[in-house]
Structure 1
Amino acid sequence: MSILFECDYKGRRYAGIGIPEAGKPHTLYAVEDGELLAAVVASGERDLVEHVGSRPETVSVSAGDPELRFLPPLLPTSTNNSLVNGFMGTHRSKFDRAPEPDEPFTPPNYYIKGFGSWLRMPGEPLTTPADPIWLLEEPEVVLVYVNDDEGNPHYAGYTFGNDLNDIGLHLENRWAWTPYAKLCETSVTPWLFLGAAPRTATGRVSVERGGETVWQGDFSCGADSIFHRFPDMTDYLFSYPMLRRPGLVNYLFLGADKATYHDGFRIDDGDRMVIDVASHGVVLDNTVRYDRRQAAPLAGTAAS
């Protein structure tokens, strides 16, 4: 399984092959912003490793170097022409039956989270509103697509994310308040796994409070755990022209298994969520931060 990543090192954009090991040197290849996007469109995800490995300018760094900053996969930092969005209620664990082999496709609920620049990396805090009702972590497969100049989507690969959201607010009014419930920061791993979306992706979530583990639970987020078929989901979504805007990078979250909320556990301010995707050897950890700052009144909106 081939894995790529992009990063910023001393103000220069680089790409790497494989996942760096702590304390060991790792080769980075200098690339331009958007270079790998063009390579996906030109040749597909299978030639990305060869493209990166052929770059002449290299540097060797350690994964712990303080000047090394990882980026979300293929994030277009100069244009921010990118979208974070996804599906809800997709997992078989949330249905009371198994799908029929030839069952007609019914699209699951959908949401738009925000821009790709809003994504956070492992180790970074995830900011939420100051008074969430009941926060829920959501370990998910994230598909990454790049649209060409004509708006045709090209699959680049997949990564893993945590769609932190306020499920308590969602449940108070499923039809009106879900967009507000999703207004919490979201994280992804920087690793782009090349190849088809996984049939099996499993691991364990831990929540730490004050340095101690206060909740643990297993999860599954691969295709075998999802009620809907991946091609049906993506074909339906990209039938909408707005998601086929030229140059758009699309981070598509595919939904989550049951987790802390379904076990009656409440995530609190300062808790550290650790998502260990054991099947793929990657870990995504983030600390919850309530944003308690008072917003200043907006000019020009006061009633006369």
Structure 2
Amino acid sequence: MINTIRLVQLFHPTYGRSIAQVQEPDLVFLKGFGSIYELALAALVSGNKLSRLISEAATDEKLVYDSVYEGNSEWKLLPSFDHPESPFHCMVSGTGLTHHNSALNRQIMHGDQEEKPTDSLKMYEMGVNGGNPSLGEIGVQPEWFYKGNGGVLKAHGEILTVPYFGEDGGEEPEIAGAYIIDREGKPWRIGFTTGNEFSDHVMEKINYLYLAPSKIRTCSIGPELVIDADFDSYSGEVQISRNGLPIWKSEINTGQKNMCHNLANLEFHHFKYDSHRIPLQAHVHFFGADAFSFGNKIILEDGDKMSVEWKGMGRALFNYLKVAKGKPYEFPEVGEL
């Protein structure tokens, strides 16, 4: 599928936030909206399609995309979707064990291929057998995890940090969905975006029950949100570079044809909870990966560059890794009231 409606979110120190449509080699500003969230809300209020609002909001003002993408402009890329007013109104989460290779990596991490299947492999097989229900039926629920609120979202080119309490930091090349909840509590999908879910695999390997804290890390989405994308099948490449030279790369595949769950089942099980349908809430949800460098015993180092590119999802997303050094972060002692 050729995805033609691709948006970016921008920030300027003088002019503030704006959004633009990608029309290579340019970015075309859209008037009247400072965020994709506001654009989506306007579509819900007016009953118009996003594509129509985007067409009507297009201006003659343009930026050279290369300059912004390479960090040489006063205009800076923001995460491709967020809540413009408060990170607390955005939930960032994900679904794991959706791809065969991710289940195999977990099997190796927590067991032995000669031994009986681990719970991870069992959960993957549950998805194979029950993750593609017919229309109107409920399938088996997937693994689900919480990443944090919108404060964990980083943009293209920004740093992803291994905190002082972390054991490691490793890329997870994924596609994420962007959603908004309307005033009646119904979720609406806005589009899909390239993502690096970024997790602490060394911490996770210590014990299954450390999966939850291993996921509470920064992550990145962008640079573009694709409005007219489906979620059928995507291929691409993930790469790690050190000192300007590639040290590892792999082909990657995702989309429901490459997964043990279909999109409808994943969305149902995420939004079935009342607390995930709070009116005007924003959601960013990662859909899993089928390759990552940790599975090939690559340990990322300070300054490494992580790149993720999906064909049909716009330009590649890259971020740099930073390992927190020095004394642990000193925060105030918890007071008593």
After superposition, the Cα gap between the structure-2 partners of 1:152 and 1:78, relative to the gap in structure 1 and judged at 3 Å, is: same
Separation of aligned partners in 1, 2:49 and 2:265: 26
Residue 98 of structure 2 is matched in structure 1 by: 90
Separation of aligned partners in 1, 2:231 and 2:182: 24
Shift of 1:149: 1.1
Out of 156, 159, 162, the position equivalent to 2:190 is 156
TM value normalised by structure 2: 0.80
Out of 16, 37, 44, the position equivalent to 1:41 is 44
**Residues 1:286 and 2:319 are matched in the alignment:** yes
Separation of aligned partners in 2, 1:265 and 1:131: 20
Identity between Structure 1 and Structure 2 (%): 23
Amino acid at match of 1:53: S
CA RMSD of aligned residues (A): 2.5
Shift of 1:297: 4.9
**Residues 1:12 and 2:16 are matched in the alignment:** yes
Separation of aligned partners in 2, 1:180 and 1:100: 29
Shift of 1:288: 0.4
Q: Secondary structure at the match of 1:231?
A: helix
Greater Cα offset, 177-186 or 212-221? 177-186
Residue 69 of structure 1 is matched in structure 2 by: 76
Greater Cα offset, 179-188 or 6-15? 6-15
Residue 220 of structure 1 is matched in structure 2 by: 253
Matched pairs, number: 297
Residue 99 of structure 1 is matched in structure 2 by: 128
Separation of aligned partners in 1, 2:317 and 2:99: 21
Separation of aligned partners in 2, 1:129 and 1:157: 31
Greater Cα offset, 264-273 or 159-168? 264-273
Shift of 1:129: 1.6
Partners of 1:199 and 1:224 within 8 A in 2: yes
Residue 116 of structure 2 is matched in structure 1 by: none
Shift of 1:43: 6.2
TM value normalised by structure 1: 0.87
Separation of aligned partners in 2, 1:146 and 1:301: 36
Segments of structure 2 that go 5 or more residues without pairing to the other structure are 104-120
Shift of 1:8: 2.1
Out of 161, 164, 174, the position equivalent to 1:140 is 174
Shift of 1:298: 2.6
Separation of aligned partners in 2, 1:152 and 1:165: 30
Separation of aligned partners in 2, 1:19 and 1:60: 9
**Residues 1:32 and 2:66 are matched in the alignment:** no
Separation of aligned partners in 1, 2:308 and 2:143: 24
Amino acid at match of 1:70: L
Partners of 2:10 and 2:19 within 8 A in 1: yes
Separation of aligned partners in 1, 2:330 and 2:45: 47
Out of 40, 44, 52, the position equivalent to 1:50 is 52
